Structure 1
Amino acid sequence: MKTRRPTRVAALVTAVLAAAFVAAPVAVAEATRHYTGTLPSGASWVADVPGEWNGTVILYSHGFGPLEPRNAPDSETGQALLDGGYALVGSSYSGPSWWALESAVRDQFASLDALTGEIGAPRRTIAWGTSMGGLVSALEAEDGRHRVVGALTTCGLVAGALNLDNYQLDGEYALSRLLAPGQGIKLVRYTGPEEAAAAGAALTKVTADAQATPAGRARIALAAALMNVPTWFTGATPPGPRDYATQETHQEAALTAFVLNFTMSGRYQIELAAGGNSSFTAGVDYRALLRGSSHTQQVRALYRQAGLDLDADLATLTRDANITADPGAIRTLARTSTPTGRLQVPELNLHTVADQLVPVEQENWYGHVVAAAGRGHLLRQAYVQGTGHCAFQPAETIAGLHALEKRVATGRWDDATTPERLNAAAGTGRYLWYQPPALTGGLGEPGRR
């Protein structure tokens, strides 16, 4: 059988197609590169670098919880950042507990160094932290070596650990003393996580049971005010400004759903890191504390409805307050976990107006600290009309990132952080003009000076 020879036309077509394939190969985007490693401290780190890297590294600091490496707040935000050309890096922290402020800043900068060893020096690095990680990024913004050019804190615990421990203890003490004085629920100096969890469960049950009576509801509102618990927990809109009864149901629901169990278990981790108890009730004037709260009118109204003597309860709390702090624990948290406000680079803070775990009142305290340090021109704070801890939409935080980048590039904030500009960038419409109330029970605030 003879083999057919290709015709001249067929041979020409074959040659043209072959030449076209060689001359114009299909372009394939470089894939994202993934890196992991272990730091000398024992912390692990993780990084992702997009194929079309824009030269900016996001140094991401995760919040309170297991010491596992993360380099983005969530997968959706992380993917959006990679799609935008940003490289992402973050460490697990090396402890000594979940409250890892002793090591976090050092481990974060070490993870940045490890990534730089793999990909070369970035054009710039921006710190981004969530919750406890927001405190980490705020401390990174105080770094005199200028390892970062700016910091973005989201739902950041920017008032630091000493304030956190104290106002949480105020609320827990009020619930225990006024609702279950005979139970002896342990509030500090836990011997282990089991004891802390048991105390949280006991106080949660006491609070849930008290919700059945007007007197119990009034006293829950008092404790929530001392603890800076917002009056909006669920739903698309908050209760009305004078709907005090509904406001209290939101506070009780938050306390019993997760807040008390979370904060009391978390206290053990903070005590472990601090080497003791850093909070106190002894010497606190609880009448003055309530007077400084934005929830005073709500508490007074519910006490009147219940027929209770509010002044008597406040006097009881002040008279019986006998929890003292361990000086060494205070020194440790003052050194590791308290911002000075001496910013070296621009910082933008984002917060929902109703955050059950890191109250928006922390922004008020932090803003005063930064202003007192003479760095107010470097700080901007923006607020989202929403309820929940870190309950942002990815577009809202990325809009904040771009506003911060504008400040870094131009040296001016201009109107980049106004609600109008942030809403235009995010497309959600939830940014609003807002002034957070003072932090009840904060260091230097009325009642605790």
Structure 2
Amino acid sequence: MRRWYGRVAALAGTLLLAIGLTAGVAAGATSGHHTGQLPDGAAWVADVPAAWNGTTILYSHGFGPLAAQNAPDDATRQALLDSGYALVGSSYSGPSWWALASAVGDQFGALAALDRLTGPPRRTLAWGTSMGGLVSALEAEAGGHRLDGVLSTCGLVAGGLNLNNYQLDGEYALAHLLAPGQHVKLVRFAGPDEASASAAALTKIATDAQATPAGQARIALAAALMNEPTWFTGPTPPAPADYAGQEVQQQQELAQFVLGFVVSGRYQIELAAGGNSAFTAGVDYRALLAGSSHARQVRALYRAAGLDLDADLTALTRDADIRPDPAAVRTLARTSTVTGRLRVPTLDIHTTDDQLVPVEQEDWYGKQVRRAGGGALLRQAYVGTTGHCAFRPAESIAALHALESRVETGHWSDVTEPRRLNEAADGLGGGGRYVRFDPPRLTGGLGEPGRWGFRA
């Protein structure tokens, strides 16, 4: 019996060796650049290095034209390929740039297409950027055996419903307080041109209002409602009590960048949702401001301008009348909102001062994951700088290696501590800027003070 068992074991070992050699040959034979199309029309793109290390990275791109991407930028792509990673990603199939209804399925379709070329990888890690960070967060809940871990970078992890609502709060405040006689359409855009016209109108309002202290105070209020940070340009942020300097930074980001992007982008979300999901009716704007980390700044600027803040908040609450389309709410709840029920280890990284996807989203997401019982699988880390997705390649790859450590060892240990991430980034030649940081609460998020949900 022992002799028979030994022969079977030897034969099995030979077969496993042959399978391993075949997989290696296949990987070498299929190295290079690959493209294809999924049944729903989404394109996919992959790159496989000749010396594949057995790990595939499934990359999810951010909001924008539906073009297949497999890395956040060229420098990061090359660094990953040089280290032996295979990269794959899809374009998503739409119907709009807010492609959440198809993105997760398209991403797994792209992964399966690459697996047919290379054979099964030793490990698969998802990596998403911005809107793609939300895609990868959803993959962490749906991936099961297809994924081993997820890295979300500058991710829109609080989801589409929260995004639409807090952005609308700030846009409504700008229009209602600074241009009460001017009708600025804020939701239900008939087309991209109408959305762009509203973006231009709000940008002009925020630009013109900067000329007076009263305008500056109201800009700060709108920025607080939109969770806008107080650092946009320059090597360091304004001092904690430099409220006027902070408002200058917020006004610049709203007028030069944010409003033009997010108001135009709302049309794409409405197109995907089939209507407007956001509301102001029933919102208590006094409570919203009270829960904001920028409340002290807003109160100080209102005092300096001689304005009655309570009167403005009362007017905003009293006159709010935008109601959502229930079907659009249901669509975004189904396609674009996380449950927090993680199935694989997940690491989120975010800049501390992100103008487009505020870092407050990480606070909301962390709470959601902990409520769902997934806290042990999640870690969040922060890079102390300004800008949306403004990571150095070494900082992102250091986070990837920390996630790999968790996958390999089964525990996080201290690999996501700022010191360890900075050491890893420094070792990659990039200079890490990770800091210890506790993100503020998301102002205007569903379930947060002042916005408990829509009341019909």
- TM-score tier, shorter chain, comes to over 0.9
Q: Is 1:354–1:387's contact at 8 Å kept on the other side of the alignment?
A: yes
Q: Is 2:45–2:90's contact at 8 Å kept on the other side of the alignment?
A: yes
CA distance in 2, matches of 1:31, 1:142: 30
TM-superposed CA distance for 1:146, in Å, is 2.4
CA distance in 1, matches of 2:368, 2:103: 22
Structure 1 residues 91, 403: closer, same or farther in 2, change over 3 A?
same
State the SS of the aligned residue for 1:102: helix
Q: Is 1:101–1:136's contact at 8 Å kept on the other side of the alignment?
A: yes
TM-superposed CA distance for 1:349, in Å, is 0.2
CA distance in 2, matches of 1:429, 1:119: 34
TM-superposed CA distance for 1:258, in Å, is 1.4
CA distance in 1, matches of 2:252, 2:331: 34
**Which segment is superposed worse, 331-340 or 141-150?**
141-150
> Hey, which of these two has a bigger chunk of helix by percent?
2
TM-superposed CA distance for 1:446, in Å, is 0.3
CA distance in 2, matches of 1:211, 1:30: 61
* 1:440 equivalenced with 2:434 (yes/no): no
TM-superposed CA distance for 1:30, in Å, is 8.8
TM-score normalised by structure 2 residue count: 0.91
CA distance in 1, matches of 2:144, 2:433: 36
CA distance in 1, matches of 2:231, 2:144: 41
1:87 corresponds to: 86
* 1:298 equivalenced with 2:297 (yes/no): yes
1:369 corresponds to: 368
2:348 corresponds to: 349
CA distance in 2, matches of 1:209, 1:145: 52
1:431 corresponds to: 434
Q: Is 1:56–1:87's contact at 8 Å kept on the other side of the alignment?
A: yes
Q: Is 2:56–2:86's contact at 8 Å kept on the other side of the alignment?
A: yes
State the SS of the aligned residue for 1:267: helix
Q: Deviations over 1:234-267 (max 9, x none)?
A: 1111100000000000000000001001000000
Q: Deviations over 1:21-48 (max 9, x none)?
A: xxxxxxxx99951100010010000000
Greater C-alpha radius of gyration: 1
1:401 corresponds to: 400
Q: Is 2:35–2:45's contact at 8 Å kept on the other side of the alignment?
A: yes
CA distance in 2, matches of 1:277, 1:429: 41
Query: Could you tell me which amino acid in structure 2 is paired with residue 448 of structure 1?
Result: R
TM-superposed CA distance for 1:118, in Å, is 1.0
CA distance in 1, matches of 2:334, 2:30: 42
1:226 corresponds to: 225
1:130 corresponds to: 129
Q: Is 1:146–1:345's contact at 8 Å kept on the other side of the alignment?
A: no
CA distance in 2, matches of 1:64, 1:312: 37
Q: How many residues align?
A: 421
TM-superposed CA distance for 1:143, in Å, is 1.3
Query: Could you tell me which amino acid in structure 2 is paired with residue 196 of structure 1?
Result: A
State how 1:40-59 maps to structure 2 within 5 Å.
40-59=39-58
2:147 corresponds to: 148
CA distance in 2, matches of 1:211, 1:146: 53
TM-superposed CA distance for 1:117, in Å, is 1.0
Query: Could you tell me which amino acid in structure 2 is paired with residue 140 of structure 1?
Result: E
State the SS of the aligned residue for 2:234: coil
State how 1:195-214 maps to structure 2 within 5 Å.
195-214=194-213
2:69 corresponds to: 70
Q: Percent identity?
A: 73
* 1:381 equivalenced with 2:380 (yes/no): yes
Q: Is 1:300–1:310's contact at 8 Å kept on the other side of the alignment?
A: yes
Q: Is 2:138–2:338's contact at 8 Å kept on the other side of the alignment?
A: yes
Q: Is 2:395–2:432's contact at 8 Å kept on the other side of the alignment?
A: no
CA distance in 2, matches of 1:186, 1:76: 41
**Which segment is superposed worse, 29-38 or 73-82?**
29-38
* 1:319 equivalenced with 2:318 (yes/no): yes
State the SS of the aligned residue for 1:205: helix
1:413 corresponds to: 412
Structure 1 residues 313, 433: closer, same or farther in 2, change over 3 A?
same
Q: Is 1:30–1:52's contact at 8 Å kept on the other side of the alignment?
A: no
State the SS of the aligned residue for 1:390: coil
Q: Give the superposed CA RMSD.
A: 1.0
Q: Is 2:144–2:344's contact at 8 Å kept on the other side of the alignment?
A: no
* 1:100 equivalenced with 2:109 (yes/no): no
Q: Deviations over 1:151-183 (max 9, x none)?
A: 000000000000000000000000000000111
CA distance in 2, matches of 1:89, 1:338: 24
CA distance in 1, matches of 2:359, 2:257: 18
Query: Could you tell me which amino acid in structure 1 is paired with residue 277 of structure 2?
Result: S
CA distance in 1, matches of 2:31, 2:102: 29
TM-score normalised by structure 1 residue count: 0.93
TM-superposed CA distance for 1:368, in Å, is 0.2
Query: Could you tell me which amino acid in structure 1 is paired with residue 449 of structure 2?
Result: P
CA distance in 1, matches of 2:279, 2:142: 30
CA distance in 1, matches of 2:111, 2:43: 12
* 1:158 equivalenced with 2:157 (yes/no): yes
Query: Could you tell me which amino acid in structure 2 is paired with residue 157 of structure 1?
Result: L
Q: Deviations over 1:366-392 (max 9, x none)?
A: 000000000000000000000000000
Query: Could you tell me which amino acid in structure 2 is paired with residue 320 of structure 1?
Result: D
Q: Deviations over 1:49-75 (max 9, x none)?
A: 000000000000000000000000000
Query: Could you tell me which amino acid in structure 2 is paired with residue 102 of structure 1?
Result: A
Q: Deviations over 1:387-444 (max 9, x none)?
A: 0000000000000000000000000000000000000000224101000000000000
2:286 corresponds to: 287
CA distance in 2, matches of 1:224, 1:170: 9
State the SS of the aligned residue for 1:146: helix
